[in-house]
Amino acid sequence: MIKKGDLYYPTKEFRKAAQLNDESVYDKAAENPIKFWEDLAERGIVWRKTWTKAFVHRPPHFQWFVGGKLNITESCFNRHLPALKDKVALIWEPEPLNEKPRRLTYRELFSEVGRFANVLKKLGVKKGDRVGIYLPMIPEVIMAMLACARIGAIHCVVFSAFSPQALKVRLQDTRARILITADGYYRRGQAINLKAAADVALAETQVKKVIVVKRVGNKVAWQKGRDFWWSDLVKKEKSACLPAIMESEDPLFILYTSGSTGKPKGCVHTNGGYAVQSLWTGKWIFDWRKTDIFWCTADVGWVTGHTYGVYSPLLNGVTSLMFEGAPDFPEPDRWCQIIEKYRVTILYTAPTAIRMFAKYGEDFVKKHDLTSLRLLGSVGEPIDETAWLWYSQNVGKSKCPIVDTWWQTETGGILITSLPGLGPFKPGFTGRPFPGIKTDILDDRGKSCPVNEKGNLVIRPPFSPGFFRGIYKNPKKYRETYWSQYGSKIYFTSDGALRDKRGLIRIIGRVDDVIKVAGHRLSTGELENAVNQHPSVAECAVVGIPDKIKGEVPVIFVVLGKPQPEEKIKPEIINQIKKEIGPIALPKEIYLVEDLPKTRSGKIMRRILKRFFTGEELGDFSTLSNPEIVEKIKKIIVR
Ligand code: WTA
């Protein structure tokens, strides 16, 4: 990269070879964003019928490519097959070092998708049905998702490290009748039994059939007539499966995400717009070339895994890598080994991972040949300047551009990042809005904030084609969460941000009760619900506090109904969280307190609790109904 002041730019060679190296794209897109997306939609996507209207806006609802018909798998496979049939679509690296990787060509992956699509059909899955997928990072998760897409079923992937209870809630909300899971997977050397977790979740759901991938050979309980081995089912099927022809606006998938309240929200994504946005954001932001080996480290259970782990690489005919396990297992340099072994050219990961590797030290990195890398990406949480520079110097050897990509489950794809062939890149700033995206930063009254002033990041019409279209079965929540702060035509992201004099955007973090723990999106409300389920807990408050590695971590303040010894109650609360959400939500600390700071109307003042850890002034708490509690809690924390 070339450094100019506080900015970085791609090298001349990089720029010259880049997919997009012409600044004029920004102006052209800004002039008529709808036309801009329409032009892109005409290229690279197989349409069975062209749309009649590109963008229809009935605030707060909107649609893209209305009247268009397609099946996204035709753009992932059929379109490429003549040229790319023997190209590797997916490299799968298992966690155990002594196990062989798998490589699936475009043709092979397509055959497996077709076979599994036929399995689903035979089990009675129809267009529009919801299919639960609770699978780890194994190739079958991609096959299952795309098989659903092939027949027009709506896939609902649930992160495999989520607890049975979290799975149950999602299955209940979608009323899925089929669940696809596995007998297990490897994580840090352990064979986790996923089927056992699924079994717990299935009671009280409408799931009638369970398809189980044999991955680790775990012993599993079996319900005859309900449970089937994946391998038994697919071997009876042919690979040819005609695609269901979908309306552009038909749902493709539902992915649950955390909001301010305890209940997760099912974000509904549609076929047409999502396909267009996935294809083009990936192509331009990762600057894909024929020879690239792309590694997106995100789990497929999160939106990054959906869009840039599955759909976008396939739509672009790229080879991508999927890794089953923990990137620092069995040694901290496992991820370097993987890059070296497969000659990975583009790495897309989260700041938490970068900070973790930085902590292990440069020696691990130096042991490996990382020269294959030509582009780096960051996602999921703000990347601080130190981590950015470490990533750039030690991993990118100061030559790779870094695309710091901002987006959300709701937006379906990346909306803010400087493009790799153009820049500029500035540590701590995600960069420029993607061409055609109209962002703004507003103060509480709805006025645009001046340069360098913090405000709320919003997106103006026409948003983007890959945006979600609603919260599954909850239009009220959709309206309230995203379209009520500044009226029904401005999308409220819930992120605080500022922009510098060049218009580069810095994301400060969430302004709601969502916390990003190691890039994972969690809601403090969800955690509070989990803790409150413990019979001894009278009330609790959860706040996210800064953490050097994970960005943010939850801490919990608990008021007990009746006194209990700490050593007994704390592990119980931990178990409660594991049961309700999963290990990713575990708190850094649990504080037992006699009361929580409250306003006179009884509202818990989480802000004050958070300030104990951020070093900010505690502020004026004389208006609390119980100001004396602040000192008492402080004593407990510093103890
Ligand atoms: C945060 C993940 C700073 C942000 C794709 C957003 C980021 C939330 C960045 C969405 C980034 C995502 N810099 N913050 N580059 N990317 N975020 O739905 O707070 O899991 O609102 O989607 O992650 O999280 P989600």
pLDDT band at 617; cut points 50, 70, 90:
confident
Q: Tell me how many domains the chain contains.
A: 2
| pLDDT tens string 3-60 | 999 999 999 999 999 999 999 999 999 999 999 999 999 999 999 999 999 999 999 9
pLDDT > 90 in the chain, percent: 97
Same domain membership, residue 556 and residue 410: no
Both 144 and 290 in a single domain? yes
Considering the domain boundaries, does residue 444 fall inside one? no
SS3 462: coil
User: Which of 405, 437, 469 is the C-terminal boundary of a domain?
Assistant: 437
257 CA: nearest ligand 1 atom: 18
Indicate the SS3 state at residue 407. coil
Atom 25 of ligand 1 has which residue's CA nearest to it? Answer: 408
Average pLDDT over residues 165-175: 97
Distance 424 CA to ligand 1 centre (A): 20
Q: Is residue 455 part of a domain?
A: no
- What digits encode the pLDDT tens for the residues 401-444? 999 999 999 999 999 999 999 999 999 999 999 999 999 999 99
Domain co-membership, 89 together with 184: yes
CA-based radius of gyration for the chain:
24
pLDDT (average), residues 205-227: 97
Position 639 scores a pLDDT of: 75
- What is the number of the ligand 1 atom nearest to the C-alpha of 417? 15
Contact 105, 163 (CB under 8 A): no
Asked if 532 and 424 sit in the same domain, the reply is no
Q: How far is the CA of 407 from the centre of ligand 1 (A)?
A: 5
- The single residue listed with the structure tokens 């800004």 is 30
Chain-centre distance for alpha carbon 510: 15
Q: Separation of 499 CA from ligand 1 center, angstroms? A: 17
Q: Rounded distance, CA 516 to CA 495, Å?
A: 12
| Structure tokens, 225 | 């007539």
- Angle between helical axes of 566-580 and 524-532 (0-180°, round to 10): 120
**Ligand 1 test: best mutation among 521, 522, 523, 584, most atoms within 8 Å of CB?**
521
Question: What's the gap in Å between 414 CA and the centre of ligand 1?
Answer: 10
Question: Are 271 and 386 contained in the same domain?
Answer: yes
In this structure, what CATH number is given to the domain that contains residue 629?
3.30.300.30
Tell me the CB-side half-sphere exposure of residue 608, using CA atoms within 13 A: 24
Domain-located, residue 169: yes
Using alpha carbons only, give the angle 521, 136, 237 rounded to the nearest 5 degrees. 135
**CB burial class (10 A; 0-12, 13-18, 19+) of residue 610?**
middle
CA nearest ligand 1 atom 23, residue: 380
How many A from CA of 380 to the centre of ligand 1?
Answer: 4
Query: Same domain for 134 and 25?
Result: yes
Indicate the residue among 390, 422, 437 that finishes a domain: 437
Looking at the structure, tell me whether residues 273 and 416 fall in a common domain. Answer: yes
Query: Measured between alpha carbons, how far is residue 89 from residues 76, 92, 141, 321 in Å?
Result: 10, 10, 14, 8
Ligand 1 atom 8 nearest Cα:
408
CA–centroid distance, residue 510 to ligand 1 (Å): 9
The mean per-residue pLDDT over the stretch 516-533 comes to 95
Residue with tokens 């996210």: 544
60: preceding bond cis by omega (within 30 degrees): yes
Q: Domain check: are 274 and 369 in the same one?
A: yes
Structure confidence by residue, pLDDT tens digits, 554-572: 999 999 998 999 999 999 9
Dihedral class, residue 307 (left if φ above 0, else alpha if ψ from -120 to 50, else beta): alpha
- Is 620 inside a domain boundary? yes
In a domain, 473, yes or no: no
Question: Per-residue pLDDT for 261 more than 80?
Answer: no
Query: Is the domain of 137 the same as that of 267?
Result: yes
**Nearest-atom index, ligand 1, CA of 494:** 21
Determine the distance separating the centroid of ligand 1 and the alpha carbon of 400, expressed in angstroms. 22
Assigned domain for 442 exists? no
**Residue 433 and residue 522 in one domain:** no
Those residues with Cβ within 8 angstroms of residue 236's Cβ, 6 or more apart along the chain or in another chain: none
C-alpha span between 616 and 325 (Å, rounded): 38
Question: Looking at residue 616, what is its pLDDT?
Answer: 87
* Mean pLDDT (whole number) for 383-387: 96
Q: Assess whether 15 and 107 both reside in one domain.
A: yes
DSSP 182: E
Among 414, 507, 511, say which to mutate for ligand 1: greatest number of ligand atoms within 8 Å of CB. Answer: 507
Residue nearest to atom 14 of ligand 1 (CA): 381
Task: Tell me which residue has its CA closest to atom 11 in ligand 1.
Answer: 406
First to last CA, the chain: 47
Residue having the nearest C-alpha atom to atom 7 of ligand 1: 381
pLDDT the model gives residue 138: 98
What residue type is assigned to position 410 of the chain? E
Residue 262, pLDDT > 90, answer no
418 lies in the same domain as 526: no
Mutate to test the pocket of ligand 1, among 302, 307, 348, 407 (most ligand atoms within 8 A of CB): 407
Residues 52-69, mean pLDDT to the nearest whole number: 98
Q: How far is the CA of 520 from the centre of ligand 1 (A)?
A: 9
508 within a domain of the structure (yes/no): no
Mutate to test the pocket of ligand 1, among 256, 300, 379, 522 (most ligand atoms within 8 A of CB): 379
pLDDT at 498: 98
Looking at residue 264, which CATH number applies to its domain? 3.40.50.12780
Last residue of a domain, one of 422, 437, 452: 437
Domain that holds residue 570: 518-638
For residue 492, tell me if it sits in a domain: no
Backbone angles phi, psi at 181, to 5 degrees: -140, -170
Any residues with Cβ below 6 Å from ligand 1, and which? 257, 302-304, 378-382, 404-409, 430, 493-495, 507, 509-510, 516, 521
- Give the residue among 84, 132, 124 at the shortest CA–CA distance from 105: 84
